[in-house]
Structure 1
Amino acid sequence: MAQEKLNSLVTPDSNGNFGQHGGKIGHPALAKALEELEKGFHSIIGDTEFIAEMKRLQATFIGRPSPIYHARTLSTRGAQIFLKREDLNHTGAHKINHCIGEVLLAKKMGKKKVIAETGAGQHGVALATAAALLGLECEIHMGVVDIAKEHPNVSRMKILGAKLVPVSAGAGTLKEAVDSAFESYIGQVEDSMFAIGSVVGPAPYPEMVAYFQSIVGHEAREQFDSMYGGQPDEVIACVGGGSNALGLFNAFLDDQHVELVGVEPAGEGLDKPGRHAATMTLGKFGNIQGFNCYYLQEEDGTPSAVHSIASGLDYPGVGPQHCYLKDIGRARYETATDEECLDAFLALSREEGIIPALESSHAVAYALRRAAQLDASKRLLVNLSGRGDKDIDYVLGKINL
């Protein structure tokens, strides 16, 4: 399969915008560095040698294509539930898809180091893995709350040779990690590249990460048609920043009969400010960390405190492409609570023998709820974006088994 282009709905205009969302950063030093990155990224899209090397690593290092699995026991609830098994990728999640691309690009541009943020640690592990493979230094910024919560991934990053920078400012979670990583990057833009972990941030990051993640949807569409005939009725993915969801959605955007559903964290309840991260449901338009999007905010426009049982989803903003897809009515966004997430985590573990990441469990929770509303002829395709190794100790601390 050739590396496919992004659908025009999720590529920006010349100013980096998707409708009113997105945009380019105004910070002088960063603007110059990101312009260089954008030129580098656009140059590799048509570079046959770059694409060939990326495809070689996708097949022999990541283990692509990831399979589609029919969850037959879960499907006894009503509609048929299928899983795109990104949890089977090397490093255990979809993050390795864009990290291989980003580090290959950094090396082609002559950079010596990659810098990034991480929440649940999956992006940090994947970037550290790609940097070790390709011989670049790696610096990862991570909130102290997430460091304590995601200890297995912290250990993996250290073993892989990454420099881990704990971030204790503010809530000590993902937003603060992004702020810290960008601040570090400003001081070393000549020799380093900021390798963002989702379809967020100023241009060219939303387009670039979406491009590298689009392989998920293109594989899934081809596989589903070949294995089951036609396309699913709904494709479903969790949404924090939104990279795994956009990776899955891209190939189905022109299939108007296929519903696109993003599932974001309702946390402890939508009626509890600061205890959820339901950006698309309750957020307002504004600018956060250099780009325009819907985000959870206070009256003065500062980002609100957020919470999710899944560290990779507790971000107050969301990718600009998702905001645009919501605006034009092409995708809809649902929520799942912490409690529903834990129930789905256990259901998939005990009924199918697959332990999912807490992030992915939000999408599974919606799929279980939705399946019960539909008959057995309907087909739901869920992006199982990561495995739950990192979450086992945390989950055992929350429930009695």
Structure 2
Amino acid sequence: MTFKNYFKNYPNEKGYFGEFGGSFIPPVLEEEMKRINEAYYSISKSHEFISELRSIRKHFQGRPTPVYYCNRLSEKYGGRIYLKREDLNHSGAHKLNHCMGEALLAKYMGKKKLIAETGAGQHGVALATAAAYFGLECEIHMGEVDIAKEHPNVMRMKILGATVVPVTHGLKTLKEAVDSAFQAYLQDPINTIYCIGSVVGPHPFPMMVREFQRVVGIEARDQFEEMTGELPDNIVACVGGGSNAMGIFSAFLDEKNIKLHGVEPAGKGIDKEGKHAATLSLGSPGVIHGFKCYLLQDKAGEPAPVYSVASGLDYPGVGPEHSMLKDLKRAEYHHINDQECIDAFFELSRLEGIIPALESSHAIAYAIKLAKANPKQSILVNLSGRGDKDLDYVIDTYGLPEDRKA
């Protein structure tokens, strides 16, 4: 397969990335999805839309975010480890890149309300931020388990004016939050828009979110080449749904010598059913939330229970584009367990003065492994979010490293 005209060819007009993607939705939503798709294609190419989005990114989000060389981390583990600092994007993660784009689209379409799910709360905070910016209503659905784990982000959403809807059924985490948000959206698809939080869902959302996130890869490629005079040997990003990974992978897909590494949560062990979310490692093709992807399934073919220390990664499915890239062997997908994630969380904090989100800590943990095995290679990690939201949970659950040693 050639990647020369990749973005014109994928997805195809029906929303498929190879055999994955598509739109498996109730008839009541088909017409609305068609309207969203047509609006995106017409509006997103207009000078007015592009100019406004660029202005927002520069003057409100603080883009471009920098690329940073981890001197002490590289000295300790080998390799040359760099970070794309999406933790410095306004609201603390990459999520605002597509939330501002989706909210701007909603504004142009005359929508009055934004609805979404959130796991770690980063997408919820970003969407609440976008809603406040544009003067729109905002409703965020979040599992009760995640509400307890991510209290700071819950408060941020409420301060920004969003209504946070606790989800009390099932495992009370990300999958159930998506279910709940979809049901709320079905009640009034004319005046509301469901702003999906990753490169998942029915067409056109996987494409739209990828396109809004491509800014990460475009910036990172130029910045890295300016810093070093060359391109990186490896790109590393965590994968739940996979928006931050597609954002940075997108700029390097046509560079065959650059390895793309997606990192999933092994949780408490990939050999323990329901205690991980290693979808691309252990899943099989299936349909969830209106699209086809690799999916962790139970014996009845239903989405299986999943778990991760990082609330933003505990999803049984994954973006259809990642599913295709796995089958094409263009990207490799690995897994990091909870303890490796926590160790990386403290390593980056203490060696570089950067506290990463637990989601991003999975990518850091794998980058450390990669650096040990390839001490002469460069590694560019998408540091997708900052860890303020995780501080209370990490300390309450794991304590400080010195406390554990004592």
TM-score normalised according to structure 1 size: 0.97
User: Which one-letter code corresponds to 1:47 in the other structure?
Assistant: S
Superposed displacement of residue 400, structure 1 = 2.9
- The aligned residue for residue 222 of structure 2 is 222
Cα deviation per residue 1:245-298 (whole Å; 9 max; x = unaligned)?
A: 000000100011110000000000111010000000000111111110001001
Q: Distance in 1 between matches of 2:32 and 2:361?
A: 37
How far 1:187 sits from its partner (Å)?
0.5
Q: What's the offset of the Cα at 1:399?
A: 2.1
Q: What is the aligned partner in structure 2 of residue 274 from structure 1? A: 274
Distance 1:373 1:261 in 2: 14
Match of residue 287 from structure 1: 287
User: Residue 381 of structure 2 corresponds to which residue in structure 1?
Assistant: 382
Task: Name the SS for the 2:312 alignment partner.
Answer: helix
**Map of 1:317 onto structure 2:** 317
Partner of 2:18: 19
Indicate the residue corresponding to 2:29 in structure 1: 30
Post-superposition offset of 1:65? 0.3
Aligned to 1:177: 177
The 5 Å alignment of 1:199-348 reads 199-348=199-348
RMSD: 1.2
Partner of 1:392: 391
Name the structure 1 match of 2:95.
95
Please, which moves more after superposition, 43-52 or 178-187? Answer: 43-52
Q: Matches of 1:398 and 1:169 in 2, distance apart?
A: 24
Instruction: Give the conservation status (yes or no) of the 8 Å contact 2:306–2:314.
Output: yes
CA distance in 1, matches of 2:343, 2:37: 42
Match of 1:70 in 2: 69
**Contact preservation (8 Å) 1:25, 1:31:** no
DSSP-derived class of the 1:92 partner = coil
Report whether the alignment pairs 1:60 with 2:59.
yes
Paired residue secondary structure (1:254)? coil
* Structural mapping, 1:191-202, within 5 Å: 191-202=191-202
Task: Render the CA deviation track for 1:184-211: whole Å, top value 9, x for unaligned.
Answer: 0000111010000000011000000000
TM-score by length of 2: 0.96
Name the aligned partner's letter for residue 281 of structure 2. T
Q: Would the aligned equivalents of 1:7 and 1:250 in 2 still touch at CA under 8 Å? A: no
CA contact (8 A) 1:10 1:207 kept: no
User: 1:107 aligns to what?
Assistant: 107
Identity %: 60
Match of 1:241, SS?
Answer: coil
Partner of 2:359: 359
CA contact (8 A) 2:25 2:202 kept: no
Unaligned regions of 5+ residues in structure 1, if any?
none
Counterpart of 1:119 in structure 2: which amino acid? G
Give the aligned partner of residue 187 of structure 1.
187
Equivalent pairs counted in the alignment come to: 396
Please identify, of 92-101 and 36-45, the stretch whose mean Cα deviation from structure 2 is larger.
36-45
CA displacement at 1:398 relative to structure 2: 2.0
Work out the CA distance in 1 between the residues paired with 2:144 and 2:204.
28
- How far the C-alpha of 1:26 sits from its partner, in A, is 3.4
1:24-57 CA-partner distances (Å, limit 9, x unpaired): 1331111111111111111123111100000000
Cα 1:108–1:389, aligned 2, differ >3 Å: closer, same or farther?
same
Give 1:206's aligned amino acid.
P
Measure, in 2, the Cα distance between the counterparts of 1:108 and 1:46.
13
Deviation at 1:9, TM superposition (A): 7.9
Distance 1:9 1:232, change over 3 A: farther
Aligned letter for 1:217? G
Q: Determine if contact 2:294/2:317 at 8 Å carries over to the other structure.
A: yes
> C-alpha separation between the residues in 2 aligned to 1:289 and 1:298?
16
Paired residue type of 2:36: L
Maintained 8 Å contact 1:114/1:131: yes
Q: Is 2:119–2:312's contact at 8 Å kept on the other side of the alignment?
A: yes
Amino acid at match of 1:159: I
Describe the SS at the equivalent of 1:251: coil
Whole-angstrom distance in 2 between the partners of 1:346 and 1:7 = 38
Name the counterpart of 1:45.
44
Q: 1:109-128 alignment to 2 at 5 Å? A: 109-128=109-128
Cα contact 1:68–1:220 (8 A) shared by 2? yes
SS of residue paired to 1:157: helix
- 8 Å Cα contact 1:6/1:210 also seen in 2: no
CA distance in structure 1 between the aligned counterparts of 2:171 and 2:300, rounded to whole angstroms: 18
Q: What one-letter code is carried by the residue in structure 1 that aligns with 2:47?
A: T
Cα pair 1:6 1:214 within 8 Å, conserved: no
Q: Counterpart of 2:349 in structure 1: which amino acid?
A: S
Amino acid at match of 1:8: F
Q: Match of 2:342, as an amino acid?
A: L
The alpha carbon displacement at 1:78 in A equals 1.1
